[in-house]
Amino acid sequence: MKIAVIGADGQLGSDITSKLKKDGFSVNELFRKDIDISDRDSVNNIIVKKTDSDLIINTAAFHHVRKSENDPVTSFKVNGIGAANLAYACRETKKKLIHISTDYVFDGTKGEPYIETDLPNPVNVYGNSKLSGEYFIRSIMEDYHILRLSGIYGSHICIGKGYNFVDKILKIGEEKGEVKVVTDEVLTPTFTEDIAEQVSLMISKNCKTGVYHVSAEGSCSWYEFAKEIFRIKDNGVKVKKALSGEFGNGVIRPACSVLENRYLKDQGINIIPHWKDGLERYIKLYR
């Protein structure tokens, strides 16, 4: 199978590309400079006219939550219209599509992990723009996979942000000797290499069409995540508790957006380990 990865130079796309190549797939790497998914002509020029891949994997997104609030037009243009452009191009050329979405399509009030059939209800622009992309794909295509992720981090730079949470918190801790991290936002941090392993397996198993949750097992607050980071590093940095309102960025975020990989487990192919396992490997391998 021939696979094109959009955003192959990004944090997640880099690991997916590496894993697919390792597993023997033919991969066409599409970088940020190669294709603008928000531009219909750019998408058609690459996906319809130049790419002979059987499967398109889209990791490109406008995923800076605060910038999305300040610039909703760009957020919806990339995350919503961009997804629609890809869906139309894939439908026209009979290509399959794997599209990356987010836990932020939920409002965080359920009180337990969200499964794929739970009703989305985003609380900010980013979540709404990503959900619009999901709906475009579902209404346009028949052969697709939408993968919702949570709190991802990896060894490659996040192009949209320039950092991931682990690296940012380590830098602050090393400079100041202490960090303040919120306790009132709960999620499941997930290592991108684990996501890449899961994606490759899903392709090999030819999973049925639909929406999938693809996150690590377990859950934690950002505060608990930071505590574990410095426990592994064992560098004496103090982690202090804070509430999200203390940072004053004005963005509402879901209080508990933990995902349950129900559909992967139903098919017997859920292989992502606990978040603590992924974090320990990341720090020992790269930090």
Cβ–Cβ < 8 Å for 60, 10: yes
Write the CA distances from 175 to 162, 170, 237, 249, 287, integer angstroms.
18, 9, 10, 23, 16
Domain extent, residue 83, equals 2-162+190-217+259-273
Here the CATH number for the domain that contains residue 18 is: 3.40.50.720
138-186 pLDDT, tens digit per residue, is 999 999 999 999 999 999 987 777 779 999 999 999 999 999 999 999 9
Q: Is residue 45 part of a domain?
A: yes
Q: Is residue 248 part of a domain?
A: no
pTM score of the predicted model: 0.96
Q: How many CB atoms sit inside 10 A of residue 62's CB? A: 24
Q: How many domains does the chain have?
A: 1
- Count, residues in the chain: 287
11-66 pLDDT, tens digit per residue, is 999 999 999 999 999 999 999 999 999 999 999 999 999 999 999 999 999 999 99
Structural tokens at position 243: 């509430």
Cβ–Cβ < 8 Å for 19, 199: yes
Q: What pLDDT does residue 248 have?
A: 62
Q: Which phi and psi angles does 131 have, rounded to 5°?
A: -65, -35
247-280 pLDDT, tens digit per residue, is 767 799 999 999 999 999 999 999 999 999 999 9
Q: Is residue 208 part of a domain?
A: yes
Q: Please spell the DSSP secondary structure of 62-109, one letter per residue.
A: ---HHHHHH-HHHHHIIIIIHHHHHHHHHHHHT-EEEEEEEGGGS-S-
Q: Is residue 169 part of a domain?
A: no
Radius of gyration of the chain (CA): 18
Cβ–Cβ < 8 Å for 35, 42: yes
Instruction: Give the whole-angstrom CA distance, residue 189 versus residue 277.
Output: 11
